Amino acid sequence: MPNPTATLDTSLGKVKVEVFLDKMPITATNFIKLAKAGFYDGLHFHRVINGFMCQFGCPHSKDPLSPRAGTGDGPDGTVKDEHPPDAKISNEPGTLAMANSGSPNSGSCQFFINTVHNSYLDFFTPGASKHPVFARVIEGMDIVKKIESTPTDGDDRPRTPVRMNKITVEGA
């Protein structure tokens, strides 16, 4: 059975991703559940760093100017870290990874889209940062690049807010 897909309808265009339900069931199920519940609809990308990644999913980012954007969890709190030995998917360009505070089991609803190969964020490489990849862009990388190149302020917040209009999941 093929993996589900999700369409991220942003204010800059649509991005379609394959969600790795087969390899990352905990993280993928969490994302799918939140997307289907409408949790992400109306939120904004709150952290964009050109040459690195675009971060999204904080409930406080409904207000794109909120100083709390980037600090919130989903309605179910945090999820267990997922580091399966047979699913070593690297943080390559176009992959989506679970964001966390740096502490174990601190991921929740926030994720980021890698725009370059950030292998040092892989859960299977040495170091403190552990960000499991749970999806990859299959259409719309040009839109991700538009988001990535959006001018930002000193806190990496887009000066012109980039809104997630809706995330639609198919096949799950």
Tens digit of pLDDT for each residue in 130-154? 899 999 999 999 999 999 999 999 9
Structural domain that includes position 28: 5-170
The pLDDT value given to residue 39: 98
Residue pair 101/130 in contact by the 8 Å Cβ criterion: no
- List all residues 6 or more positions away from 101 whose beta carbon is below 8 Å from its beta carbon: none
In this prediction, residue 29 has a pLDDT band, given cuts at 50, 70 and 90, of very high
The pLDDT value given to residue 130: 87
In this prediction, residue 112 has a pLDDT band, given cuts at 50, 70 and 90, of very high
Residue pair 59/100 in contact by the 8 Å Cβ criterion: no
Element (H, E) at 159: none
| Residue at token pair 């639609």 | 168
The pLDDT value given to residue 155: 92
Domain count across the chain? 1
Catalytic residues: 47, 52, 55, 100, 112, 121, 131
| pTM score over 0.85 | yes
DSSP state of 105: T
Pairing between strand 95-98 and 111-114? antiparallel
CATH code for the domain in which residue 153 is found: 2.40.100.10
**Is the model's pLDDT at 128 over the cut of 90?**
no
| Rounded mean pLDDT, 52-77 | 97
CA distances from 18 to 57, 92, 133, 152, 171 (A): 18, 14, 11, 28, 10
